[in-house]
Structure 1
Amino acid sequence: MPTRHGQDKQDPEEGVQPRGKWANNMEFILSMAGEIIGLGNVWRFPFLCYKNGGGVFLIPYCVFLFCCGIPVFFLETALGQYTSEGGVTAWRKICPMFEGVGIASQVIVIYLNIYYIVVLAWAIFYLINSFKSPLPWSSCANPWNTGKEKISDASLNTFSSPEEEFWENRVLRMSHDSGLGDVHWELALCLLFAWVICYFCIWKGIKTTGKVVYFTATFPYLMLFILFVRGVTLPGASDGLKYYLKPDFSKLADPDVWRDAGTQVFFSYAVCQGVLTALGSYNKYNNNCYKDCLALCCLNSATSIFAGFAVFSIIGFMAHDLNIPISDVTAGPGLAFIAYPRALSLLPGSSFWAVLFFLMILFLGLDSQFVCVESLATAITDLFPSRLRRPGAREILVLVIAVACFLLGLPFVTEGGIGLFRIVDTFGPSGTSLLLIACAETLVVSWIYGADRFYDNIEDMIGYRPSPVLKYCWMFVTPLICVVTMLYNLAKDSPLSVYSELFGSSASTIAALLIATPLLCIPAYIFVALCRDPNNMTTPSKDLRQVSPDKPVLTMCNLVIFQAQRRPNRNPEERNMKTAEELTSFGID
């Protein structure tokens, strides 16, 4: 007969909700597409092509894509699907001492959650002003203008365009003094509104995220296609396209071109951020993630190339109409918030086109933002499943993340916030951090866990073994390219002089902290883990798959011997028999 104490004792499983799954494969595809296809496709890739030799840039881009981007993209997605774990606990299952790899990726995600959404605040501010006629950045008769505007000749350095003054004096309210200055409260309200949208898109988890992406992931394509059709029919569009694609083969000898290609691939494919692992973890076990990953990679790169045609056709028209050189147009935020608005203001019905453009920018950024928040929430939930998989816990967790990131994002909407934004954008999710994480991921999976063993896991899921090229990339090619590129990045002088003007010597300190924090997570966690419990850090197991939140952690780290572990190929009947034996060994019928 149970005692009174025994009756009052609560079962730890009681109230714990099961881990969710995508309702169908399309929700997974659209969520992944929404994450990897973002603002970088529209404002960064086209100008990297122009800056680095036009169409020739596609050569180093494709080298990094096929040797690093696709292999790591597939590795992270397959790992998430097989383990049903987020970006941290999935690496705990590979080997507990390398859980720091997942923590490092979540540091990158935290950076993105804090500063990336500021772009959405800018887009919302512009979108609101796009309903005005005439567009407020198309004239000089405004309170924020300085009297130095000149519309017809932008080649004179003593003049500034009304678009530049709207951007600097109205949107950013830039101050030339050092430091951050006061908060721009109109922009802060836009930032708050962006977080409110993001929160209600993901607060219920993939049940809401999977439905929202049907619109947010497809609408930008419609807008991009409309802008492309309008752009190529304008006078001067052909000149813009020539600048976009004109080949300069001498650029292939420039190491900076290869570095730019690698950085673009890693950032635009969202690798080494834990995001792909988190999204893949909600897949059904037998989903063909190999086919999905190849299709998504093709879609991402094709979108980048297509966006270049839409962007440069409009920019070519602007250069033709104003009689200015296309080379005067800058990349980055200046493209989306200075050059493109200027071009749109020259079109008949300019307000209509401006609304379409900034809606596209908003949805491109929104997809990426709420998937980044989802990645962080998934990682935290999987670390504490017995507490955070209870009714209401998810909503509170996402609310805490949103409020914290909003408060941490307020410095970016101050008078000196654009300088801080550029520092974080350059050195936060930087190429150096992503390259080291990618190198660690491929080495841990291929040499500690075993590339052939991981291929067996994939075969168990999808029914066949992927191309062996991916395996050899994990084992040799990807780590080698990452190390070489990373060493070049470290040897190259950092462009801190521009930021030092705004923040003084603190710019170097901020940049160093942004780079070092994720990099130190890996060795620091190895040291702490081995000191805390060296035996459990190297405990071998038979499988990676999660079967229950409170089952013992299953790991695959056979005394950290750096050699691939091989298992013979099995036919489907043998695979099913072996899987049943493995599950039985863990007490699962």
Structure 2
Amino acid sequence: MGIGTDTKPLPSESSKLAVDRKEEDGVVEIMKLEDEEATGQQRETWTRRLEFVLASVGYAVGLGNVWRFPYLCYRSGGGAFLIPYIIMLFLCGIPLLFMEYAIGQYTRLGPVHGLAKICPLLKGVGLATVVISFVLATYYNVLMTWALYYFFNSFGSALPWQSCNNTWNVVSNCSTGFPGNATHLQSASQQFFDRKLLEMTSGIEEAGGVRWELFGLLALAWLIIYFCIFKGVKSTGKVVYFTATFPYFMLFALLINNVQLPGAKDGILYFLMPNWSKLLEVQVWVNAAAQIFNSIGIAFGSMISMASYNKYNNNILRDTFLVSLANSATSIIAGFVIFSAIGYMAHIHNLPVDDIATDGPGLVFVVYPEAFSTMPVSRLWAPLFFFMLLCLGLDSEFAMVEVAVTCIMDGFGVKVLRVFKRKELLVLAVCSVGFLLGIPHITRVILISSIIQYTPARYGKSYTYPLWAEVLGWFISLVSIIWIPLGAAHEIWRNKGSLSQRLKVALTPTVDLQPIHALQEKQRVHSESSTLFSTSQ
């Protein structure tokens, strides 16, 4: 079937491979003798294929499936949006995911060294994916910190975002209901988010002090990450049995609960009602493609890294379809869950769905907590919901941190082990750096993490970030992508000859794959002849 069926592994970049061919009863055996000079240890593999699939699904199915896709679908034509979404899934998402799996599994390397082996000119692309993933990991873990904060606050005598009688509330403009278009009012859940969780200052210029409660929870979140991945895929593979499956139980439980609430049907109809004219807008198609790339995790390096720990004969085509379809199905199910709750909120507050529907953190940390305040058995649903968010974040963090660890081990394995002695200490160092880089996100400044977006940075409808914050956001974005042209320029510079000769070398794979393919063909022919012989007898 091609890559991922009945082939044998290539060496890692700095390894030496000797292939001994032995003919025993007509069977060609490929004996792999690797000098583990590059990493100082043999590359580990997933214990079971199911662990790889669950880890991939867990990484793909993240917070964006819950808070971005439903709103994006609603704003981009409802049910009509599913047409460009599915087209982009099969046109871009599945082929690119298969390509990333193939690179990782075929080279048994992470994105930096795997891409450099296939096309040296693209080594900067691999490095860019590592930088992007690690930057994402530093503030993605802040979202997990928020989930932990809400989770622990769900066990009090009453949900703290239910009333306006708390010390952090501004009673004069606090509403226990949803204020809708009343700009002078804020819901109790909004004030809990702004004034209790974030303790927001007046602007980004006034960073304020560190939120020590969040500091401790951020440390806890990174400790959880560390103890889940410190043994590599051996430990991650066991954890994902729970973290990748629990969100599905919760989504179905919430769906069953929500559809019985008054107004839920109206919310679902808003979610699915097709607006066919939207299909004529280019932005809708761009949104569909962007959602596919972001949700599956294309070009973040994580899928390449996870696939590099596969056995070489793993069927990645099957896994590609499983992961892609599971991810898209989850997004649609989450849409029903979210909009049934939004319909319920619109019903009890007598407001149009438009006034309540939102995306991003405001959906899961403001709107949904407000919904829990009025739901039956709210004290049960609230902690379970935030624990689900924690699991969704954990799975994504596993993969994003693993990209950095894989990159370091592939390139500097012996040197790293000489310094840290054990891989577990390297993982601890990576997590510690991520923790330190995450500290600015838990100051009292207005959502500093949003300055990394390339669109004009705003918080809510009233505050616009200053120019220097915009420049800083562009700089952070540039840090991740500058490695692509730098890597290409360095590869051309280090080669010899004319420009065309240097470019040709930079575009040529660094290993000759023909001998292995020749042996694979012999194996295939022998297998077919053996089958025919046994059949004839």
Q: TM-score, normalised by structure 2?
A: 0.84
Q: Please identify, of 103-112 and 280-289, the stretch whose mean Cα deviation from structure 2 is larger.
A: 103-112
Match in the other structure for 2:32: none
Contact between 2:457 and 2:464, CA under 8 Å: does it hold in 1? Answer: no
Distance 2:506 2:150 in 1: 55
Contact between 2:204 and 2:446, CA under 8 Å: does it hold in 1? Answer: no
Match in the other structure for 2:198: 172
Match in the other structure for 1:375: 403
Per the TM alignment, residue 15 of structure 1 is displaced from its structure 2 partner at its CA by 9.1
Q: Please identify, of 52-61 and 383-392, the stretch whose mean Cα deviation from structure 2 is larger.
A: 383-392
Aligned match of 1:230 in 246, 257, 266?
A: 257
Match in the other structure for 1:259: 286
Residue identity matched to 2:126: G
Q: CA deviation digits over 1:25-47, x for unaligned, max 9?
A: 01101110110011111111000
Q: CA deviation digits over 1:91-119, x for unaligned, max 9?
A: 11112232111011112112111111110
Distance 2:378 2:86 in 1: 37
Q: Please identify, of 182-191 and 161-170, the stretch whose mean Cα deviation from structure 2 is larger.
A: 182-191
Residue identity matched to 1:339: V
Match in the other structure for 2:533: none
Match in the other structure for 1:69: 93
Distance 2:78 2:341 in 1: 17
Match in the other structure for 1:563: none
Q: CA deviation digits over 1:325-377, x for unaligned, max 9?
A: 22122211000000001111111221111011001000001110111101211
Q: Please identify, of 191-200 and 569-578, the stretch whose mean Cα deviation from structure 2 is larger.
A: 569-578
Per the TM alignment, residue 316 of structure 1 is displaced from its structure 2 partner at its CA by 1.1
Determine whether 1:151 maps to 2:176.
yes
Kindly report which structure 2 residues correspond to 1:300-311, keeping only aligned pairs within 5 A, or say none.
300-311=327-338
Aligned match of 1:524 in 486, 509, 514?
A: 486
Contact between 1:540 and 1:555, CA under 8 Å: does it hold in 2? Answer: no
Contact between 1:178 and 1:502, CA under 8 Å: does it hold in 2? Answer: no
Kindly report which structure 2 residues correspond to 1:397-408, keeping only aligned pairs within 5 A, or say none.
397-408=426-437
Q: TM-score, normalised by structure 1?
A: 0.77
Aligned match of 1:360 in 367, 383, 388?
A: 388
Residue identity matched to 2:295: S
Match in the other structure for 1:312: 339
Distance 2:469 2:333 in 1: 36
Seq. identity, %? 43
Paired residue secondary structure (1:74): helix
Aligned match of 2:440 in 398, 411, 436?
A: 411
Contact between 1:94 and 1:555, CA under 8 Å: does it hold in 2? Answer: no
Q: Please identify, of 186-195 and 510-519, the stretch whose mean Cα deviation from structure 2 is larger.
A: 510-519
Match in the other structure for 2:449: 421
Contact between 2:162 and 2:189, CA under 8 Å: does it hold in 1? Answer: yes
Per the TM alignment, residue 574 of structure 1 is displaced from its structure 2 partner at its CA by 3.4
Distance 1:503 1:182 in 2: 19
Contact between 1:97 and 1:538, CA under 8 Å: does it hold in 2? Answer: no
Per the TM alignment, residue 555 of structure 1 is displaced from its structure 2 partner at its CA by 6.8
Contact between 2:119 and 2:507, CA under 8 Å: does it hold in 1? Answer: no
Per the TM alignment, residue 260 of structure 1 is displaced from its structure 2 partner at its CA by 1.5
Contact between 2:202 and 2:446, CA under 8 Å: does it hold in 1? Answer: no
Per the TM alignment, residue 206 of structure 1 is displaced from its structure 2 partner at its CA by 0.8
Contact between 1:96 and 1:538, CA under 8 Å: does it hold in 2? Answer: no
Distance 2:383 2:435 in 1: 25
Consecutive unaligned residues in structure 2, runs of 5 or more: 1-34, 527-537
Consecutive unaligned residues in structure 1, runs of 5 or more: 1-10, 428-493, 545-552, 557-565, 579-589
How many equivalent residue pairs? 481
Determine whether 1:508 maps to 2:466.
no
Contact between 1:92 and 1:555, CA under 8 Å: does it hold in 2? Answer: no
Per the TM alignment, residue 226 of structure 1 is displaced from its structure 2 partner at its CA by 0.7
Distance 1:258 1:423 in 2: 25
Contact between 1:411 and 1:417, CA under 8 Å: does it hold in 2? Answer: no
Determine whether 1:58 maps to 2:85.
no
Match in the other structure for 1:547: none
Per the TM alignment, residue 576 of structure 1 is displaced from its structure 2 partner at its CA by 5.9
Contact between 1:64 and 1:265, CA under 8 Å: does it hold in 2? Answer: yes
Per the TM alignment, residue 194 of structure 1 is displaced from its structure 2 partner at its CA by 0.4
Per the TM alignment, residue 407 of structure 1 is displaced from its structure 2 partner at its CA by 1.0
Match in the other structure for 1:116: 140
Q: CA deviation digits over 1:105-159, x for unaligned, max 9?
A: 1121121111111100000000000011310000111000001112345132111
Per the TM alignment, residue 525 of structure 1 is displaced from its structure 2 partner at its CA by 1.2
Structure with a larger share of its residues in strand: 2
Per the TM alignment, residue 416 of structure 1 is displaced from its structure 2 partner at its CA by 1.3
Contact between 1:96 and 1:555, CA under 8 Å: does it hold in 2? Answer: no
Kindly report which structure 2 residues correspond to 1:177-216, keeping only aligned pairs within 5 A, or say none.
177-179=203-205, 180-216=207-243
Q: RMSD across aligned C-alpha pairs, in angstroms?
A: 2.6
Per the TM alignment, residue 526 of structure 1 is displaced from its structure 2 partner at its CA by 1.4
Contact between 2:208 and 2:444, CA under 8 Å: does it hold in 1? Answer: yes
Aligned match of 1:336 in 364, 370, 387?
A: 364
Contact between 2:369 and 2:382, CA under 8 Å: does it hold in 1? Answer: yes
Aligned match of 1:129 in 150, 153, 178?
A: 153
